Structure formats: structure tokens, C-alpha cells
Structure 1
């Protein structure tokens, strides 16, 4: 295979001012919303920090759902802004139980914000978005969703669920660039943000993005937009539109079903036992007792397959089978499952690789 000529990335044409608003509208369609969408010219971690900074202030109370380090960091940013944060944490590498969130809400005399990640790429958990949204709506509080990994892997209906703020990135299921992200903001959320201190000029100010872009007719973005990132985002959305967002989601769902079927045929139960609680982005597989996760990953790498390590409190306890974006395909899923099985076999774990390969094939054949 020929080496990519990275010099081709130099001197890109300027991204035209009149293309930003249509690009934002395309993201609105992905999120099924009429809410405003603003661009954050950075990886989605900065967009999440900008949201927390823009909504937090002394006197507010937040219920923060933690199912990975991302949720922990969001709570830290809310506290930094002066909010009182009550944390509801799931078991390591597992999704949250909505009943635990409901119980916490019932025990608090005041709640202003509920925040949660939708689908976790760090451990494969899928939080119950509809149930969490209903709990937030029933109490009339602001509902904030980290949808960075889930857009394109799971359906998201921003308006129907009554989400107030959602952060998305293109680098996961949409297989786009990592250097630009977007935030959907409801009218109620803008009202909330307007009541908080504004630290503009700041990269962490959603209010500044509203003043500098939306209120000026969605023309030139503040700052100096990176043309490569916006051209790449447009190209990624073109590819999504050509395939159809419903098919992109279905492709991820099929990859997850096939991966889980393959693991079970190996003789290994997925880390997240319930299919409905598992993300379509990655499938987490356990590292058996007595097996070193790093050795398992290295053995799979010798077969040309990248198994990803666990992240956060499950590091060393799982490996992640990646079927995100363009990896949500039969060849990748089959390679992931069989390489994981072969690596286990090298460590003395009894598995049935042939049965796993058949299970993946059957899942794709609809058997």
C-alpha cells in the first residue's frame, strides 16, 4: 500500500462563510432538532467543558450520572463553576440504573441540572437515554447529554426527548474529523446560560458563540476556523447522507449484535450482560483471571488486530472490540472476535474460535 502524502494537507482552500449555517443544519437533522447548533473548534472534550462552564454557577444543584471518567470530569467542571454536584455512579464499566437516578432525585430538595453520557466508547455501556430524559422532564430540570460517541450509532431524538444540551463529535460513529465538534442548545438552555456569569472572551463560553455567530446571522465564525476540519466534517456528512443515517445506525447495531454473538460462541460472556444495555460503538470483553490484558492486546496485534484496553476503573479488566465508524463491518467484527479468541487460546483459555466465526457469519446472514 502506498504511503499517504501528508503534504497534500497543506494550503487547503478557505472554508466559505456561507457553508457554516448549512453544515449546522445538517447536524440538526442528525439530532432531530430545531434547536440552535453551534460549533466548537476543538475536540469534543473542550465542547463538554464549555457546556459545564457555561451552565454552572453558585446556588445550582446538579445530578451527574457517572459511567466512565468522562462523567467524572464533567462533574468536576460543574463544581469548578460553583454548582453543588450529587454523583450517581454505576458499577465499573456498566450502564446506570434509572431507578438509582430517580431515587437520588427524590432525595434532593432542589435539582437544576441532570447530566449523563449516552453511549460510552470507553467501556461499551449504553445509558437509558429515554428514561433519564423522562426523569429530567418530570422535574422540569435542564437535561444535558454527552452524545459524542452515540450520534450515528444510536438514534437520538433531541426534541422528542426534551434534551436541552447535547454535545456531538464526528470522530466516532460518523467516521469524521476529531478537531471540530458541535453543541445543540435549546431555547430553555439559552435562558439558563444567560443567567450565568459570562467569561467571554473565552473558548469556554457558549454565550459568546451565540452572540458572535447566531445573533449575527450565522455568518463568519468567531476566531479563525480551521478549513481542513470543516471540509472533513462536510465530507463525513456527505458520506453519511449517501449511506443514510438510518443505515449507519443499523450497521453499528448489526456489528454489536454480531460481536456479542461471537463472544458467546467463543464461550465468553460479554462484560455487559444485557444486550439492550450495550453500546453499538464497542463491545467490551472480559480479561479472564490470570490473563494479563497487555499480553492479550499484544497477542492480538501480532495477528494484525487492535484490541483496545479498558479505560478508567476497568483498566486491565476488559478489552474493547472496536466497531465504530467504518469499522462497523463484517470483516472487522470477524477479525476482532477471532483474534480475541486466538489471543485467549495462547494464554491457555479454552475457547471455540470456529463456533465464534460461524456465529459472526450467521449474525450478518440473518440466521
Structure 2
């Protein structure tokens, strides 16, 4: 199988250093006492990345595990849950809350822009009897980043426990967990962190722990039961055998991020360059505002179809970008500029290929995408 340039919004390219770390000899993580220290060391590095003193866990499962585990562990039958929704993933959070008995109210916003904080605050002034609220930092399908720095402090003011899906933002957008009063934040190894898929990173506040550990009824799950992790280090016991090689890779990937002081600025600068090039060429972005630093979502021109663009990119240029799903299926294409994908040369190559594909399919462009990108970054 030929190596492809992977420019999707996750999974992303994995560096050779991370691949080599994963090749280290494994031990038995259940009985090797040294591994408990290694796991804790990795969690402490993630804490630095998230700017938090809260507990951090690494769960053996893709980011959806963290989302479901948070809902399973925090939500009890008939708990009132506020689902803050301005996209596919935001709305989907409500399904997980319902699955575990939550009485869900949707605060739904315009799907083409970030959450309107003033409207949310006005809503909460009259309706704040919620135990938990769910929200998404970066809506990956639409390429919108929500202002959780403003939303979570409002939720905190009303004593509402926040669960934030930061899977596509963690490492590529500013994320100040303690300063912004986030109770549970969850990420995935395969996005901006650029480790292989398969791990959830999850931070938990004291308030969230208190709710989890003082439930009226046990968590109706084992694998999604966060209470089993409360004293993992003191007891030297994991609820299940850890994915040790993946954690070796994650440790190296987080090290690489912590060494890069410019990582968030680089994501912001190159994302702006991609958007500017696309707009200057006459293409249309899906969002009206709230543009993500990690993924750009582009409306498919009327003279070509989504599948043709994706096929041409893969077959002619060996580059994988993505479409979307749900209400955006076949309407948009997406470029992932996150983690190891977020470098000028990779985006130049990708935009040059998109430029060629669109021109071949008789899409009129006002400038060359790749040249404009270099000009503005």
C-alpha cells in the first residue's frame, strides 16, 4: 500500500519519533509497578498541556469512549441535562445523555456559526436547573470552534457540571481547563496530538468527581465507569489492561507538543492562510464565523461533486482529504490542518492539488490556491 499524504481532520500523520516509541518492549502493566509511575508521568504531561491541576486519565478507547464514559458516570435517571448544540457532534451529545437516563433540553443555535454566548446566558438566567451540560469545543464536521472560555464560566456560575468534547481542538486551539472552569474535558490521541487512534485523554474536576462518587445508583457500565479509576495510583490497580504501546507513543507525542511553544500560533496562522487562499480564489466556506484553527470546511462547487474531488485527490495526487456526513454529506470537503498535518509545506502541496483538481473539473478559480497561501502566511 502506497504512503499517502493524510490531510484529514484526524487521524493525522504520526511522526517517526512516535512510531519508534511505540516499538519499545512492553511490560505487564498490571504487575509492573514502574508502569504505574510511567502512566502517571504521562498524565502529568497532559495536565501541563491542558493547563490544569485536575486529575487526568488515559482511557483505552477512541475519543467516543471518553464522551460516553463522562455521560455514563455523571448522569443518573432523570437528571436534567443541557445539551448545547450548534452542530452534528453537539446534538449527538444529547443521545448519549438520554442513553443514561438524562432529561435532556437542547439549547440549539445556528449551525453556521459559533454558540451565541449572550443568548445562552439569557437562557440560563431563566433556566439553570441543570446538573450537567454538554458542549463541543470544535465541531469537526462544520469547522466551527465554540467560545468555551466564555461558556464554561457561565455554567460554573450556576453550579452546572460541564462536559467538553475537545477531541479536535486539544493541542491546536487555546485550552485553559482550570481558568475556564471546565469540569470534564476529553480529547483523542489521533487528532492534534498526532498519536495513533485508540486513546482518550480525560480531565476531571473535584466537583465532577464528587458527583460521580456520590451517585444514588451505581454506574450502569463497567468500561465506562470512571469511579473505578478514583484511586488507581494509590491502589496500583487499573480497571483493565492498558494499551501500553499506544501510551508509549502518546507520551512521546505529548513531549513533542510541550517542546513546541509556537504550536497554537502555528495552527492559528496556517488556518487563516488556508481560509484566505480559498476565499480569494472564489470558493465558499461552510461556516459564517467561528472558524476552527484545526479543520477547514469548504462548500463543494456546484459544477462538481464531492466524490469526484476526493477520488481525484487520492488517485491523482495520493492525498486524502475528507467529506462529511449527516446534513453535510456530499455538500462539503474538509482539510485537516492539525498536529503533524499543520505545516506549511504539507498545506502547500494539498492546496496545489486541490487547485489542479478543481480546474480539471472546470471550476473557475480567481487565483492559484497554493500561491495565495504562501503569500499570506
Instruction: With the length of structure 2 as denominator, give the TM-score of the two structures.
Output: 0.86
Q: Which residue of 1 aligns with 2:175?
A: 156
Supply the distance in 2 between the matched residues of 1:61 and 1:131 (Cα, whole angstroms): 22
* Structure 2 stretches lacking a partner, 5+ long: 4-15, 30-34
Aligned-residue offset at 1:22: 1.0
Query: Does 2:200 match 1:181?
Result: yes
Q: Which residue of 2 aligns with 1:118?
A: 137
Which of 89, 99, 108 is equivalent to 2:118? 99
Which of 231, 245, 250 is equivalent to 1:228? 245
Shift in CA distance, 318/257, structure 1 to aligned 2, threshold 3 Å: same
2:22 touches 2:249 (CA, 8 Å); kept in 1?
no
- How do 1:329-340 residues align onto structure 2 when only pairs under 5 Å count? 329-340=343-354
Q: Which residue of 2 aligns with 1:69?
A: 88
- Please list the CA deviations of residues 205-253 of structure 1 after superposition, one character each: whole Å capped at 9, or x if unmatched: 0111114x1553xx443321122111111121222233x2x32222211
Shift in CA distance, 239/9, structure 1 to aligned 2, threshold 3 Å: closer
Which of 355, 358, 369 is equivalent to 1:341? 355
1:341 touches 1:352 (CA, 8 Å); kept in 2?
no
- Which structure ranks higher in relative contact order (CA pairs < 8 Å, sequence separation ≥ 6)? 2
Shift in CA distance, 84/329, structure 1 to aligned 2, threshold 3 Å: same
Q: Which residue of 1 aligns with 2:256?
A: 239
2:303 touches 2:363 (CA, 8 Å); kept in 1?
no
Which of 244, 268, 272 is equivalent to 1:253? 268
Which of 278, 288, 301 is equivalent to 1:263? 278
Which of 182, 187, 209 is equivalent to 1:168? 187
Supply the distance in 2 between the matched residues of 1:112 and 1:279 (Cα, whole angstroms): 29
2:300 touches 2:333 (CA, 8 Å); kept in 1?
yes
Q: Which structure has the highest helix share of the two? A: 1
Query: Does 2:317 match 1:303?
Result: yes
2:51 touches 2:177 (CA, 8 Å); kept in 1?
yes
Supply the distance in 1 between the matched residues of 2:162 and 2:75 (Cα, whole angstroms): 13
Which of 68, 71, 78 is equivalent to 1:52? 71
Instruction: With the length of structure 1 as denominator, give the TM-score of the two structures.
Output: 0.89
User: 2:207 is paired with a residue of what secondary structure?
Assistant: helix
Aligned-residue offset at 1:189: 0.7
Aligned-residue offset at 1:358: 2.7
User: 2:135 is paired with a residue of what secondary structure?
Assistant: strand
Supply the distance in 2 between the matched residues of 1:62 and 1:208 (Cα, whole angstroms): 23
Supply the distance in 1 between the matched residues of 2:110 and 2:75 (Cα, whole angstroms): 27
- Please list the CA deviations of residues 13-32 of structure 1 after superposition, one character each: whole Å capped at 9, or x if unmatched: 22623211111111111111
Query: Does 2:225 match 1:205?
Result: yes
Q: Which residue of 2 aligns with 1:88?
A: 107
Shift in CA distance, 305/2, structure 1 to aligned 2, threshold 3 Å: closer
Shift in CA distance, 271/231, structure 1 to aligned 2, threshold 3 Å: same
1:149 touches 1:172 (CA, 8 Å); kept in 2?
yes
Q: Which residue of 2 aligns with 1:322?
A: 336
User: 1:158 is paired with a residue of what secondary structure?
Assistant: coil
* Number of aligned residues: 354
Q: Which residue of 2 aligns with 1:279?
A: 292
Supply the distance in 1 between the matched residues of 2:219 and 2:326 (Cα, whole angstroms): 31
Q: Which residue of 2 aligns with 1:358?
A: 371
2:303 touches 2:362 (CA, 8 Å); kept in 1?
no
2:45 touches 2:255 (CA, 8 Å); kept in 1?
no
- Please list the CA deviations of residues 94-133 of structure 1 after superposition, one character each: whole Å capped at 9, or x if unmatched: 4322234334424426222221110122221101111211
